[in-house]
Structure 1
């Protein structure tokens, strides 16, 4: 995921460190196999992941923010029960299915249905002041439209980008999140399959990138770098370094490599953390209070997660190899 550093709620110092370490490993492609064996994590694994993904300091040189900006505060429920505006290229059947399943998952966890608006081609058709804006595209990345979208958000939320600032398209799926002077919002740019007919590889790939970005925006926090290539994924969308530089995004090599570098869907831990964020109801998830809440209510959160994972409707979004929960 990507974001404008001065105002982003997507990046934190943990994500910055992950990016720095990634450069060290780019020369050594990952050989998959980590998700071939089902491994049951323990409670300490979950607590360590929660600490890595959510409890970190924003006040680094990279994250320095103007003094007049409101404090960074992330309440998952504000996004999870807010509004989504979907626009761009017409959504394919897979995109509609995943977005519907994901919003149903949020309805179960947060006990409120998410409002989704289908706004046609352009962001200008969206209702004002949405929480999440999703531009879908098929084919070449829409660089100009992405930056036109972000300039509209700049005006809407008073983000105040630097003069002549432009956001590159760094990956087939990316999210930019901002805390402006008139509130917080997120913009997702997601590649979708060119047609409704696709191979199993394509289905897994396009499902994975859409689920990851939706989850990241709602759950907040930082991506977790997975430098250990032998152990299985537990997630918060762990990323293992893989060298895909200059590989075309629509190629089988790229799709295969990306699927090997992170879980192909949500793991049990990810669903567990949605329940934790919803039940904790903290003013800000970026807090050690979240860890205290998880430790105190672990058994109840695990039980809620088990019930959720039994729903067949969510199966397309779940990576079964990392679904097992701690005893």
Structure 2
């Protein structure tokens, strides 16, 4: 299927690439990396990226200006997005053909061609696989700029190769990208630099979080507290792993109030499978890294209770 996908990239003269809302480094890395991969091999193609410019990740690159007419006769690719509701910019439907590339468990097959590889650490790794599957047949070159974006996505989603989604294929992909003479130190510096307000917000989390008897840790961050630390939907993601690697904690949940009053839950696990619970609360994701959406604060306890049950079951099995 990777060969079929590139045949469509080769065929179309106009290509527009989308990804999910509230982009993380893998969403941007796969989007910008694929765009640059196509541009550097096909100078005559028009390749554009679409979506909100997340200020905290501006160092990775900027989106393009795209008008409705650009979609006429265009190939549209959606990166790192399991369901259509999370696609940034609904104009993705205006293209001539739609392709989905993703590594999340399948939620919705919304494209003409749906390629999902849940064994991949990241969608950026899938783009590397796409390149490798077609480089000989199409004499493809991988630029330093494309490699830098893809490496950033892999590093972020694999937790610098610490997460258990890291495989031999992940390391092989990283080796290939590193051979493109990327500035690995600069990428790491940009990716893991913390601003003062983030450090202060992490202090708030560490002073406010609670832990249940089942081993579920959680904190609640109302909108006014987020604003007091100058957090945005993009920068608050830096708080998600503040409670990681604490002895006795199996699952941790970050509960953020959104502007519309709903509660965004970022859920992470050191062992128990959590995405099935997240799916019950308007969410989903990976087995050990998921998200959910709750209507109001009062609904949070139901989520925490179900996660507690998963933790207790996990303790009996290990």
User: Under a length normalisation based on structure 2, what TM-score does the superposition of the two structures give?
Assistant: 0.28
Q: Which structure carries more relative contact order (alpha carbon 8 Å, separation 6+)?
A: 1
| Structure with bigger gyration radius | 2
Q: What is the TM-score of this pair, normalised by structure 1?
A: 0.28
